[in-house]
Amino acid sequence: MANVRVQRIKVYLGSKLIGEILDATYDHNTNDEQYHATSGSNFFSTGNDTTEFSFTTVVPKTGHQAQLKQACLGHLDVTCTAEVDGGIEQADGRFTQRSYKGESKNGSLQGSWKFMGGAPSTI
């Protein structure tokens, strides 16, 4: 399987672009489960899709540093869009984890962040 390229992940609060995610791992989980019947048949349940971004760097858009932090602290819904292997996918969700690594002098927030959302849609 070829490597899937994920790039240009942007974070929106409402319709405002508040930041860009760098160094991300993108996971799309169908959450289907396999079942085995006593007759030997095999089938799958249809699960609820989820999206997860794990990343180490967030670059706030100028003037929106406080909104990016407040999105996490305030349990606010955000939308993440990502260019994934030539197409654009987006998911609504929340930041569920953040930890800071130390002072950053280039205007980015570095550490460990996680975003979790629902099923991705293509736009």
For residue 87, what pLDDT is reported? 87
Residue 55 belongs to what domain range? 6-122
81-122 residue pLDDT tens:
998 888 899 999 999 998 877 666 666 777 788 999 999 999
Asked, for residue 1, whether it belongs to a domain, the answer is no
- What's the mean pLDDT when you consider all of the chain? 85
Q: Is residue 75 part of a domain?
A: yes
Report residue 58's pLDDT band, with 50, 70 and 90 as the boundaries: confident
- Tally of structural domains, the chain: 1
Mean pLDDT computed over 68-90? 89
SS (HEC) of the chain: CCCCCEEEEEEEECCEEEEEEEEEEEEEECCCCEEECCCCCEEECCCCCEEEEEEEEEEECCCCHHHHHHHHHCCCCEEEEEEECCEEEEEEEEEEEEEECCCCCCCCEEEEEEEEECCCEEC
* pLDDT tens readout for residues 18-34: 999 888 888 889 998 88
Assign residue 72 the CATH number of its domain: 2.40.30
Q: Say what the pLDDT of residue 102 is.
A: 66
